[in-house]
Structure 1
Amino acid sequence: MSAVPEPPQIVICKWNVHLTRSMLDLTPRVIVILDEFDTAYMSPDWDLLAKAERVYRIKDFDSIEEIAAIAADLALRGAEIDRIVSFTEFSQFGAGYLGVLLGLSDDPMQHVAFRDKRLMKDRVRRAGVPAAAWHTLVDPSDEVDVAAVRERLAFPVVVKPVAGSGAIGTVRVDRPEELDRVLRGLEPDPHLKSHQLTVEEFVSGREYHVDALWRDGEPHYLVISAYYRPRMSVLDDDPAADDTPRDGSYVVNEADAPDLYRRMRELHRKVNGALGITDGPTHLEVFERPDGELVFSEIASRMAGAWIGAVISAWLGYEIHEAIAASAVTGTIPAPAPSRPHLGGLHLRPEGPGRITAIPEESEMLAVDGVLRAQRLRAVGDTVEHAHPSEWCAFVTLGAGSREEYDALARRVTDLLRVEVEPLG
């Protein structure tokens, strides 16, 4: 009789109750790494964590000393790690470094390319994928480098942190003569250790996000969604678009756009090949120019944030974390069973900056017919600065039977569920 193979040994970086429980339901061979933010603010379930094989507590995933110490301890214990699951932006560098130390990757820069947008775009462009031209600014006060940006790039351009996320610290500059002023006024994101910048040519057109889950180079699922507005224009005034949601996206069903899905799969496979992505969740952002060309924006080797994870869960018919766990442990996932034919999600945000005077309760959001899920992240009295598109207030997941019904639902929700503010001062 042949021996039953042991289940894979999985490392989970950071705390998420749904992912940890889903993984432990499938295998006890789970190691969890928590950082200081997790233990101080995320209320880990220590009874659940007691079922894990081991729990490491560190200060910061960017500490090479702490990550190296975990790798050394695992090596001394004879642990043979099969997969590392890192589902947040700020654990990506540490998770990638741990994978290099444990021999899971033979490319020591692979995990860097998942975060550093310069290296990411360089590798993707070398693979023949259209992407915006860019120039690096190691020191924004270096006049020679700033002059090179003006000479080499066509304006408008977008200035962003090399390892940022969510359009935080990202600024559009329309004319060359504005660049110096914008650079002088930039406030570095306090969450980022590096203050290096990249400047990219602005790509106009429709913006999509593509959310997928991969195993051995093949997608368990691949879902295309269209943003209502490109992320960089969410905060722009646009009176002509007042009757449509400002911030959110909706799923583009494959039956309605088979050619788009074909072209996006082809682009995604090239991107994956360039970056060495074979397994796990991804969140890809792509522009479609007016002439139909698809242009790579960026990719995250993790599940999407904001409202998108809840929408993918509604599309699957079960929690996205269950799919991630099943793929990592068994190599398969339960068949998707969308809860409604047409799905999407909205971010409910105020029209401008100020102190919140009214924001819907989750029960109020869920009382609207067609709202499938709701999450409130702010409260009355909180301040909204309107400084970047990822200043989250509240999310709703929507579902309807037809595209027309969905569009009407999105407009109704936008009108009914409002976040109101009063001016500061």
Structure 2
Amino acid sequence: MPSSAGHPHVVICKWSEPLVRCMLDLTPHVFLILDHFDTTFMNPDRELLTQVERVYEIKDFDSLEEMAAVATDLVVRGVAVDHIVSFTEFSQFGAGYLGVLLGLADDPLWHVSFRDKRLMKERVRRAGVPTADWVTLADPSRADDVAAVRDRLAFPIVVKPVAGSGTIGAVRVDHPDELRSVLEGIAPDPHLKSHQLTAEEFVAGSELHVDALWHDGRPLYLLISTYYRPRLALLDPDAAPGPDGTPEDGSYLITEDEAPELYRRVTKLHHEVNSALGITHGATHLELFERPDGELVFSEIASRMAGGWIGAVISEYLGYEIHTAIARATVTGRIPEPRPSKPCLGALHLRPPRAGRIAAIPTVEDMLAVDGVLRAQRLRGVGDRVERTNPSEWCAFVVLGADSREEYEALARRVAGELRTEVEPLG
């Protein structure tokens, strides 16, 4: 089954109905890998599954044996795979390993550099991109590993899993004397196989996220957004809400017309990061800080579309679904011209003010009924527990749009006040 320029062979890792449908519109040669979570909880459309060329059901993308078996089956069937599309964090290692086995990657550590923050920062720093100082903490029970952190880093620092995501498991440590007790209190993330940690300098300033889609090293779109508050700041129990009603959680898109110099600097930095990590194709989600003096500091990058509310905001910017853009870029190298639904776009996460059991949360209908809300998604319901142990404990999202920056800011404050997730104490 040789590949052809008109109908490339594409492997999709994990279930996404819109992505599968979009890809099938462009090529009949779609191969789908579903893990246990997909088949158990995501309810894949069985009729749609019959339209793909082959479905592989595995237990775990981190299983070398299972990924090697998929690669072998593709090879013995004569399938020349052109593209592997992995759009979730937990399929990245398996998808990268599959690419190495199928000869799509020359560097066996290429895919590792998108998940292990130590290798990522090492390669980016060698390219001359400013990054936070960091130290590996492979075994937090070893006194010499802990001593190296105290000796080499200026506090405050952030301790995080080497292959974590969404700030899950990240902890700020303000003083060297607190380090040992903090490390002893860290509970390993059950989703991660490795319990190795990294410690890095805490970077003060505003936190930006940059979402792009690449083909042959050029961005088909590149969008800069700023979080209302840095992600780690959301864990501060003493942080007070903004006096003007500024939302706590979410981000908004900065247009190039508003900040042309920022776009120039960020685009330059992004190309340097891409060069260091070998990124030429696909969706990326880059996070960086802008220090008070204006210096841009690289934080991390994911070789996938962003999670949370960000994909929905990008879809509103494009004027069509982000999955269409990813499929078109993969197969044709082009995407339709963006047609933003509103000049100013952003989103809020309706995060409760404290931990507890949800007593009230807006329905999707409630959210969409508010003028200025373009999209809404509810992920929790009344009675669900919210621990507030990490910023990515999602409850409900609203995507907002307005005709000017002033109107958007007023809209965000109004929506944050009207649409709230309320909790009662955990009994």
TM-score (norm 2): 0.98
The answer to whether the Cα contact below 8 Å between 2:362 and 2:421 also exists between their aligned partners in 1 is yes
Amino acid in structure 1 at the alignment position of 2:74: L
Runs of at least 5 residues in structure 2 that lack an aligned partner in the other structure: none
Match of 1:299 in 2: 301
**In structure 2, the residue corresponding to 1:220 is in which secondary structure?**
strand
Match of 1:192 in 2: 192
Matches within 5 A, 1:4-403: 5-236=5-236, 237-239=238-240, 241-242=242-243, 243-403=245-405
Runs of at least 5 residues in structure 1 that lack an aligned partner in the other structure: none
Distance 2:128 2:297 in 1: 11
Amino acid in structure 2 at the alignment position of 1:75: V
Percent identity (aligned): 71
Amino acid in structure 1 at the alignment position of 2:350: L
Q: CA deviation at 1:238?
A: 2.8
Distance 1:241 1:6 in 2: 54
Distance 2:242 2:274 in 1: 35
The answer to whether the Cα contact below 8 Å between 2:241 and 2:248 also exists between their aligned partners in 1 is no
Amino acid in structure 2 at the alignment position of 1:74: L
**In structure 2, the residue corresponding to 1:297 is in which secondary structure?**
strand
Equivalent residue pairs, number: 422
**In structure 2, the residue corresponding to 1:38 is in which secondary structure?**
helix
Q: CA deviation at 1:6?
A: 3.5
Q: 1:53 to 1:153 in 2, by over 3 A?
A: same
Distance 2:46 2:279 in 1: 33
Cα deviations by residue, 1:338-367 (Å, 9 ceiling, x for unpaired): 000000011001000000000000000000
Distance 2:6 2:333 in 1: 14
Distance 1:314 1:296 in 2: 27
Q: CA deviation at 1:5?
A: 4.1
Amino acid in structure 2 at the alignment position of 1:64: L
Task: Find the partner of 1:419 among 400, 418, 421.
Answer: 421
Q: CA deviation at 1:91?
A: 0.0
Q: 1:160 to 1:30 in 2, by over 3 A?
A: same
The list of structure 1 runs, each at least 4 consecutive aligned residues, that deviate by more than 3 angstroms after superposition, is none
Q: CA deviation at 1:25?
A: 1.0
Q: CA deviation at 1:334?
A: 0.4
Cα deviations by residue, 1:172-223 (Å, 9 ceiling, x for unpaired): 0000000001000000000000000000000010110000000010000000
Distance 1:332 1:139 in 2: 46
TM-score (norm 1): 0.98
Amino acid in structure 1 at the alignment position of 2:210: V
Q: 1:148 to 1:363 in 2, by over 3 A?
A: same
**In structure 2, the residue corresponding to 1:141 is in which secondary structure?**
coil
Distance 1:103 1:307 in 2: 34
Amino acid in structure 1 at the alignment position of 2:406: E
**In structure 1, the residue corresponding to 2:257 is in which secondary structure?**
helix
**In structure 2, the residue corresponding to 1:132 is in which secondary structure?**
coil
Amino acid in structure 1 at the alignment position of 2:404: S
**In structure 2, the residue corresponding to 1:286 is in which secondary structure?**
strand
Distance 1:132 1:286 in 2: 10
**In structure 2, the residue corresponding to 1:365 is in which secondary structure?**
helix
**In structure 1, the residue corresponding to 2:18 is in which secondary structure?**
helix
Amino acid in structure 1 at the alignment position of 2:35: D
Distance 1:108 1:121 in 2: 17
Amino acid in structure 1 at the alignment position of 2:114: F
